[in-house]
Amino acid sequence: MTALHLVKTYCLPSLLFGCEIWNLTAHSIRRLNVAWNNCFRFIFRGFWRESVKVLQYYCSSLPVSYIIDQRRILFWKRMSCSDNLVLRSMSHFVSFRIKAVSSVYGVSTTVMSNSVIKDVIWDFFARSVL
């Protein structure tokens, strides 16, 4: 658990630095997920064919694709609620993309608090595992 904590604290932020504004393809997201899954396999000595979803669930860790979506939604929410007119204006340009991502998880960004958004995304992941 200590090794996982270190990876989550130091490696994951470096891996995902600025992901809120990345233009990712499905292939890029898959490669990021593979890197994150391989961390779990290495730490828990799993085989490359084994799924790590259950490990991620019990370690309270989301897959990278979920983390990126969560960070994008929260970043857009902060931008759209900002006092800065430029940031609010920029948030309107990407609002359709963020609303598409939010709708996958059933998130209403205008009404929900940040903690509720995180809980909804976690519940969505938990339902896919169990």
pLDDT, tens digit, 9 for 90 and up, residues 6-58: 999 999 999 899 998 888 899 999 999 999 999 999 999 888 888 899 999 99
pLDDT of residue 66: 96
Mean confidence (pLDDT) of the chain: 91
- pLDDT average, residue stretch 89-103: 86
The contacts of residue 19 (CB under 8 Å, 6+ apart) are 67, 68, 71, 72
pLDDT of residue 26: 92
- Could you tell me the pTM of the whole model? 0.89
Cα separation of 48 and 2, whole Å?
22
b/e map of 38-49 (b: 16 or more CB within 10 Å)? ebbbebeeeeee
By C-alpha distance, which of 94, 79, 100 is closest to 22? 94
